[in-house]
Amino acid sequence: EAGVVQSPRYKIIEKKQPVAFWCNPISGHNTLYWYLQNLGQGPELLIRYENEEAVDDSQLPKDRFSAERLKGVDSTLKIQPAELGDSAVYLCASSLGTAGNEQFFGPGTRLTVL
């Protein structure tokens, strides 16, 4: 069974440019998470989806970040415009929709903003 797929693995852009990350969760997982991981820190939740509905986006900086999960399967996270402080690893995870269930993580996208 394929794991959580993310692309691209690495992205380098100049500040003020837009960038998008894509995530394909494990088949059948209705819960999808986007996390931000800064160097030396643990993952921090940006947004959580239950199927196609964003049920927790309280930590998503909505002035520049947006996300979508059309049809409740794969998801895209976008930053426009990117700032220097957005340099980090963006992680996607998925799980079956029961509290306490294991989250399965993708390898992440490492973003560098110059």
Partner 1 sequence: AQSVTQLDSQVPVFEEAPVELRCNYSSSVSVYLFWYVQYPNQGLQLLLKYLSGSTLVESINGFEAEFNKSQTSFHLRKPSVHISDTAEYFCAVSETGGFKTIFGAGTRLFVKA
* Stretch of 15-23, 63-71, 75-83, 101-109 lying at the interface with partner 1 (CB under 8 A): 101-109
Among the listed residues 63, 70, 85, 102, the single contact to partner 1 using CB under 8 A:
102
* 104 in Cβ contact with 5 (< 8 Å): no
The least CB distance from residue 105 to partner 1, in Å, is: 4
| Among 4, 82, 111, 113, interactor with partner 1 by CB under 8 A | 4
Using CA atoms, how far apart are residues 65 and 14, in angstroms rounded to an integer? 16
Q: Pairing relation of β-strands 109-113 and 10-13?
A: parallel
Q: Which span (10-18, 62-70, 74-82, 103-111) binds partner 1, by CB under 8 A?
A: 103-111
Q: Cα Rg for the chain, rounded, in angstroms?
A: 13
